[in-house]
Chains A and B, each alone.
Chain A
Amino acid sequence: MAKPVNAQSASLLEIDRRAVRKSRFGLRKHMLLYLMILPGFLYFVVFKYFPMGGLVIAFQDYQPFQGILKSPWVGLKHFERLFTEPTFFMLLRNTLVLFAMNIVFFFPLPILLALMLNEVRHRFFKNAIQTIIYIPHFMSWVIIVSITYVFLTVDGGVLNELLAAVGLPKISFLTSPEWLRTVYIGQIIWKELGWSTIIYLAAITVVDTQLYEAAEMDGASRLRKTWHVTLPAIRPVIITLLILKIGSTLDLGFEHMYLLLNSLNREVAEIFDTYIYTAGLKNGQLSYSTTVGLFKGVVGLVLVMLSNRLAKKFGEDGVY
């Protein structure tokens, strides 16, 4: 193992020395680094930026058999329809409320759990817990929603049978709009809580142990150490993850919500993702659903930029 590494670093130095003299932009100098970026760069160009060209169909009456070139241009017709659609505000509200609930109720939990796991001294116990709480992450939403269905259904669901056994009225969790959000967030917590602790745990391990020792010398309790040493140390990680989360949370997860959605809870459950599916793919209104998707993307971008600016205001680095 040792030899090739040495050889490589030697050649790196070689390139360095030669490049410094010749290149003004550092292109030569860092050629290897640039080469290493290349696959990722190509990935983004081919799979992320290139398909964005397809967004032009939001301004067309796109007909598949005519293609992008021949389909008629209609300007902002689809945007007008979206903003005047009676369901528009319902969609925006549902999406934003669930987004906010996700940030408020779900986001802090992995931090808390990671801090708690960090305090566990027994290695075997800690590893066992970690393994167990990671498992739900690998289950698909279909399975999780089905399990929930079995637990919550009115006809013989475990929870409702329990309620009935203690003399309480049954609750139709699956069809009542009041319960939808609770069930939705609950499922996310159950599925993703364990997995989300990984990055925090990694961040905690690099905290300088000298700081803990110093705190101990000053007579700090474990709670104090957590509050004054661990938390401040992982703060940049928390902020970064929060901004990333805000960027991606508008993608509330089509599959998850689509499985929970039914005629009776639609008023709170229909979100942009499910609307795009029903209006776009099932009804074949490709242009219109592209418009909805574009709008969703813009809202997401605005949220990320706002939170990034906010983070910088509070003296953090932000993500860009």
Chain B
Amino acid sequence: MKNAKKARKAAAAALCTTFLLLSACGGGGSQAASGEPYDENSKATISWLNILHTASPPTDTVLNKIEEKTNADIQFSWIPDASKEERINTALASDSLADIVTLTLLDNSSVRNSLKSGLFWEVEPYLDDYPNLAKISEDTRKSASIGGKLYGVPFQKDLARNGVTIRKDWLDKLGLETPHTTDELLEVARAFTEDDPDGNGKNDTTGFVDRSDLIYGAFKTLSSYFGTPNNWQVSEDGKMTPEFMTESYVKTMDYMKTLYEKGYINQDFAVTAKTDQQQKFAQGRAGIYVGAIFDSKNLLNMAKGIQDDMELVLVNDITSTGSEADRAIWAANNGIGGLLAFPRSEVKDEAELERVLKFVNDLMDEDSYALMTYGIEGTHYTVDGEGAATITDTDLWQQEVQPFAASRPKESGYEIHDADPLKKESDKLIAENADYAVLNPAYSLESETYNTQGSELQKTITDATYKYILGEIDRAGFDAAVESWKNAGGAAIISEYEAAYKAVQS
């Protein structure tokens, strides 16, 4: 924020705040009188420490429009997604923050500690003053809270976005039906590997293509199909069990092990990066992709010119039993994409906070959503009477619009929608997923041991899972790893969560 009017601002802040609270101003109509620090018509300078999910930051074209729309001068500091942990941690440690900080890793201990220590504004009391922010549901507010307090505006993401993408043209060629059980999926994987689905006479395809990620890759989604809880399971009497101590987790490992041993999955999946995985799929070297359902559109785009015959079918109803009642899909972070947090060191007083919140509120408007999703009408996309948008220049869109997609505070519930049939289908399936979403009961619970040692401990389990799948250890070896997890602090995590759960329930 600008330093220029600091003194005057500070003097008027208390008065203004009282006024704002009393009149619930900022909502829509009423606004502070001109000359007051919080003036809706004043152009605000807002710096934003944000996460970048694309290779390069966006150009100014769309940014200028967003600035116009929100009446703000936005200064982004982009952090590449791959290095967000260390970068956010160093930013917190060195207090080099911005007016808005995108915090996506709420279970990271230093992020949690700094939130709890009061480094950021608590925003819950202000939310209802803004029309879009007021609509954030009670559930979302609750799950995004830490210790019962909401330290930022939660990103509202789709609850469960994962599913299976399969080569439809290969299925048709081999005369196979779309699979709906894990066994059928295994059979498809076998056929894709052994029956030469691309018809080039060479044994150069596999069923699955996966990457070195047990969570956003295939493993966790498959584990949902086998009925594994989402990280933690809580019983009637309040006993907590981590997912890897359930039988269905072991079943999932066995399934992956079969895929690996029979060669139905790329043999190097344990060291494959996401881009390589998607490339392999696009090059026609594999036919089953398990991950976010909306990746399908990307995969098809990437395959243009390489695999022009590619047709995709999206599946979200696979179970191990074939019964509808067993449908389940894990919800990443319980649908919370993180927080837009406002550090007290940058946003000095309530007047500034109100202005920044107004900015976030404006970002959630229909117009801003369209800007951040599709770009500028006529330049990046066209829209028909029903609000179906078609992206006209994909390359331009990727450069100028796509980087903003992850910064949208809210991603669904808008008029405008994608006209692309595949995107439409994936939106539909993701919406369906919400009815079957499995939440992590420990998500908003506190465990001191988990905060400090959780991810170190998780490594033990992750390593053992990979080794089991690749046949380097057997069940006894895996159980031994679980045992060492317990001894090294896992047991403490369980009891701390149980205590926290009890405290919340009572």
- Chain A interface residues (CB < 8 Å from chain B): 63-66, 85-86, 149, 153-155, 170, 172, 174-175, 262-264, 266-267, 277-279, 281-286
Report A151 CB to chain B, min CB distance, Å: 13
Report A239 CB to chain B, min CB distance, Å: 39
29 A-B pairs whose Cβ atoms sit less than 8 Å apart in the complex: A63-B117, A65-B95, A65-B119, A149-B271, A154-B267, A155-B280, A170-B267, A172-B267, A172-B268, A175-B270, A175-B470, A262-B212, A262-B270, A263-B212, A263-B462, A263-B463, A264-B466, A264-B470, A266-B459, A266-B463, A267-B463, A282-B85, A282-B86, A282-B455, A283-B108, A283-B110, A283-B456, A284-B89, A284-B113
Also in contact, A64 and B109, with CB within 8 A (given A153-B268, A266-B459, A282-B455): no
Q: Are A64 and B95 in contact (CB under 8 A)?
A: yes
Q: Are B93 and A175 in contact (CB under 8 A)?
A: no
Q: Are B110 and A155 in contact (CB under 8 A)?
A: no
Q: Are B271 and A174 in contact (CB under 8 A)?
A: yes
C-alpha spacing A85/B456, complex, angstroms? 11
C-alpha spacing A175/B466, complex, angstroms? 10
C-alpha spacing A214/B264, complex, angstroms? 71
Also in contact, A284 and B268, with CB within 8 A (given A65-B117, A86-B488, A264-B470): no
Complex partner residue of B270 from A149, A263, A278, CB under 8 angstroms: A263
The list of the 8 closest CB pairs from A to B, nearest first, reads A284-B110, A64-B93, A281-B86, A263-B466, A282-B85, A154-B267, A263-B463, A284-B89
Given contacts A65-B117, A266-B459, A282-B89, 16 further A-B contacts (CB under 8 A): A64-B94, A64-B95, A65-B114, A86-B484, A154-B267, A155-B268, A172-B268, A175-B271, A264-B470, A281-B89, A281-B90, A283-B110, A283-B455, A285-B109, A285-B110, A286-B93
Bitwise, B111-141 to A at CB < 8 A (1) or not (0) is 1011001010000000000000000000000
With contacts defined as CB atoms under 8 Å apart, how many contacts are there between chain A and chain B in the complex?
88
Residues of A close to B95: CB separation below 8 A: 64-65
Report A71 CB to chain B, min CB distance, Å: 12
Chain B, residue nearest A284 (CB): B110
Also in contact, A155 and B89, with CB within 8 A (given A65-B117, A263-B462, A284-B113): no
Residues of A close to B114: CB separation below 8 A: 64-65
B92 near A: Cβ within 8 Å? yes
Also in contact, A63 and B113, with CB within 8 A (given A263-B270, A281-B85, A284-B89): yes
Chain B, residue nearest A275 (CB): B456
Interface residues in B51-95 (C-beta closer than 8 Å to A): 85-86, 89-90, 92-95
B472 near A: Cβ within 8 Å? yes
B467 near A: Cβ within 8 Å? yes
C-alpha spacing A174/B269, complex, angstroms? 11
Quick one: which of A64, A264, A266, A267 has the most chain B CB within 10 A?
A64
Also in contact, A264 and B467, with CB within 8 A (given A175-B268, A175-B270, A283-B109): yes
B228 near A: Cβ within 8 Å? no
Chain A, residue nearest B119 (CB): A65
Chain B, residue nearest A170 (CB): B267
C-alpha spacing A286/B109, complex, angstroms? 11
B266 near A: Cβ within 8 Å? yes
Report B481 CB to chain A, min CB distance, Å: 11
Residues of B close to A282: CB separation below 8 A: 85-86, 89, 108, 455
Bitwise, B456-488 to A at CB < 8 A (1) or not (0) is 100100110111001010000000000010001
C-alpha spacing A66/B95, complex, angstroms? 11
C-alpha spacing A118/B353, complex, angstroms? 71
Complex partner residue of A264 from B85, B119, B270, B456, CB under 8 angstroms: B270
Report A53 CB to chain B, min CB distance, Å: 16
Report B244 CB to chain A, min CB distance, Å: 14
Residues of A close to B266: CB separation below 8 A: 155
Report A248 CB to chain B, min CB distance, Å: 24
Report A95 CB to chain B, min CB distance, Å: 18
Report A83 CB to chain B, min CB distance, Å: 14
C-alpha spacing A149/B93, complex, angstroms? 35
Residues of B close to A283: CB separation below 8 A: 108-110, 452, 455-456
Residues of B close to A266: CB separation below 8 A: 459, 463
C-alpha spacing A113/B476, complex, angstroms? 50
C-alpha spacing A121/B117, complex, angstroms? 70
Bitwise, B249-286 to A at CB < 8 A (1) or not (0) is 00000000000000000111011000000001000000
Report A50 CB to chain B, min CB distance, Å: 16
Q: Are A64 and B470 in contact (CB under 8 A)?
A: no
Residues of B close to A263: CB separation below 8 A: 212, 270, 459, 462-463, 465-467
Q: Are A284 and B267 in contact (CB under 8 A)?
A: no
C-alpha spacing A154/B206, complex, angstroms? 13
Q: Are A64 and B456 in contact (CB under 8 A)?
A: no
Q: Are B108 and A284 in contact (CB under 8 A)?
A: yes
Quick one: which of A63, A85, A86 has the most chain B CB within 10 A?
A63
Residues of B close to A155: CB separation below 8 A: 266-268, 280
Chain A, residue nearest B209 (CB): A155
C-alpha spacing A266/B267, complex, angstroms? 19
Residues of B close to A278: CB separation below 8 A: 455-456, 459
Bitwise, B435-464 to A at CB < 8 A (1) or not (0) is 000000000000000001001100100110
Q: Are A64 and B92 in contact (CB under 8 A)?
A: yes
Residues of A close to B459: CB separation below 8 A: 263, 266, 278
Report A174 CB to chain B, min CB distance, Å: 5
Chain A, residue nearest B464 (CB): A263
Also in contact, A64 and B484, with CB within 8 A (given A264-B463, A266-B463): no
C-alpha spacing A284/B459, complex, angstroms? 16
C-alpha spacing A19/B89, complex, angstroms? 55
Chain B, residue nearest A175 (CB): B270
Report A177 CB to chain B, min CB distance, Å: 9
Report A62 CB to chain B, min CB distance, Å: 9
Chain A, residue nearest B344 (CB): A65
C-alpha spacing A266/B459, complex, angstroms? 10
Residues of A close to B267: CB separation below 8 A: 154-155, 170, 172
Chain A, residue nearest B463 (CB): A263
C-alpha spacing A64/B89, complex, angstroms? 9
Residues of B close to A85: CB separation below 8 A: 488
Report B490 CB to chain A, min CB distance, Å: 12
Residues of A close to B465: CB separation below 8 A: 263
C-alpha spacing A172/B267, complex, angstroms? 9
Q: Are B456 and A279 in contact (CB under 8 A)?
A: yes
Quick one: which of A63, A263, A284 has the most chain B CB within 10 A?
A284
Residues of A close to B111: CB separation below 8 A: 284
Q: Are B268 and A64 in contact (CB under 8 A)?
A: no
C-alpha spacing A285/B488, complex, angstroms? 17
Chain A, residue nearest B487 (CB): A86
Bitwise, B413-445 to A at CB < 8 A (1) or not (0) is 000000000000000000000000000000000
Chain B, residue nearest A66 (CB): B117
Chain A, residue nearest B462 (CB): A263
Quick one: which of B268, B452, B459 has the most chain A CB within 10 A?
B268
Chain A, residue nearest B273 (CB): A149
Chain A, residue nearest B108 (CB): A284
